[in-house]
Structure 1
Amino acid sequence: MGRRLEAADIRLGVSLARAKDTRRVRALAAASEAGGWKWLLALSGGTLALGVLRRDPRLAEAGRHMLVSGMLAAVTKTTVKRVVHRTRPNVLMDEGLYEKGWFGPNVGPWQSFPSGHSALSVAVATAAGRAYPEIRGVATAAALGVVAVQVLRGAHFPVDVAAGALIGLSAEAVDHRIALGRDGVAGLAARGIPG
């Protein structure tokens, strides 16, 4: 069963990445770099800083939540990438090489699983959408666009981006739960009730 699912994932990934070298897909790939850690860190940190400067607690908390969710997603995906190695679809397509296993080389072509762009984009978009429900649709669409392009450009197989998105959702949910607990204790303390 597992091998059949892996084979189907490989077939689908290669099929979806057939146009990876076209000008259109390369342009989409360049645009999808907005889902990379540098840009998302800048966006999250900038949102936090702007909220602090404006004395806007909602905006500052949104930035904090985006930043922490993104960092949790980054740490998780990096840890998994260090343990699981899987060659990327573009390596299979261009060089005919596909390998997977445990504790492989710590280099990009061997780190298809999970997708970091997917993990971080989904984490930050979910955090932003939770803070500002009016932008949830746009944030989600942007994150899903980044996720889809990772497959189209041959950087990841479908399972890789699904795992990355799950990491992003989980990271945001963990930080949200922690924030709820923190806010609940702070609210009790403000009313003079021991937490």
Structure 2
Amino acid sequence: MASALRERDRRLARRLIAWGPPWLRRIGRAVEEAAEHTKLWWAAAGTMAVAGGRRGRRAAAAGVAAMAAAEVLSNGVVKRLYQRRRPPREWVPPEDLPDRPDSSSFPSGHTAAAVAFSGAVAPAWPAVGAVCGAAGVLVGAQRLHSGAHYPADVAVGGAIGLAGVALVRAAPRLLRRGAL
């Protein structure tokens, strides 16, 4: 069963990498640059904190905390425990090869950060959370289309992002109980 899922993951990755018109790759490069080192989310947090008043500061703090938790889980724990090669270089258009990371492809840390930030912002400021969520979907799609990740990498990155949100939302209750 695991080998069948792995094979489906590989076939879907190959299709997604090859799919789409040339302009989509140009947009993808801009999305990748914005998401690299979580620049997009830090910029969003700064903008919310400065322009959004108390609600903006609360949303920014929640987003950054969830993103940090997801980064630790994805890049600090899971990537170190599970090494997976990225999709084969021959599947990827030559213009996308120079930007491919050398680290384990599993899970997608970019997706984990995007989902965590967006998911934590949404309860505090739903409209901004929706905008961040749309940007997060673009980040996940770009990671697939560029050949940086397999679909399972992005899906698990999303799940880790949701775990980061859950940790941040549970933290006040756990602190009150003395569990943290």
Q: TM-score, normalization: structure 2?
A: 0.80
Distance 1:19 1:7 in 2: 18
Distance 1:137 1:61 in 2: 16
Structure 1: tracts of 5 or more residues without a match: 95-106, 186-195
Partner residue, 2:23: 24
Partner residue, 1:50: 50
Partner residue, 1:141: 134
Return the offset for 1:147: 0.7
Matched, 1:132 2:125: yes
Partner residue, 2:82: 84
Partner residue, 1:3: 3
1:73 to 70, 82, 92: 70
Q: Contact 1:44–1:67 (CA<8 Å) still a contact in 2?
A: no
Give, as a single letter, the amino acid of the residue that structure 2 aligns with 1:148. Answer: A
Partner residue, 2:91: 93
Q: Over alpha carbons, which structure has the higher Rg?
A: 1
**Secondary structure of 2:83 counterpart:** strand
Structure 2: tracts of 5 or more residues without a match: 93-99
Matched, 1:170 2:176: no
Distance 1:142 1:45 in 2: 14
Distance 2:87 2:102 in 1: 9
Give, as a single letter, the amino acid of the residue that structure 2 aligns with 1:29. Answer: G
Give, as a single letter, the amino acid of the residue that structure 2 aligns with 1:77. Answer: S
Distance 1:141 1:124 in 2: 12
Choose 134-143 or 1-10, whichever is displaced more. 134-143
Q: Which has the higher helix share?
A: 2
Return the offset for 1:85: 1.2
Q: Once the two structures are superposed, what CA deviation does each residue of 1:58-98 show, in whole Å capped at 9, x if it has no partner?
A: 2222111111111111111112112211111143626xxxx
RMSD: 2.5
Return the offset for 1:14: 0.9
Q: How many residues of Structure 1 are paired with residues of Structure 2 in the alignment? A: 167
Percent pairwise identity? 32
Return the offset for 1:165: 0.5
Q: Give the 3 Å change call, closer, same or farther, for CA 110–57 of structure 1 in structure 2.
A: closer
Distance 1:121 1:35 in 2: 8
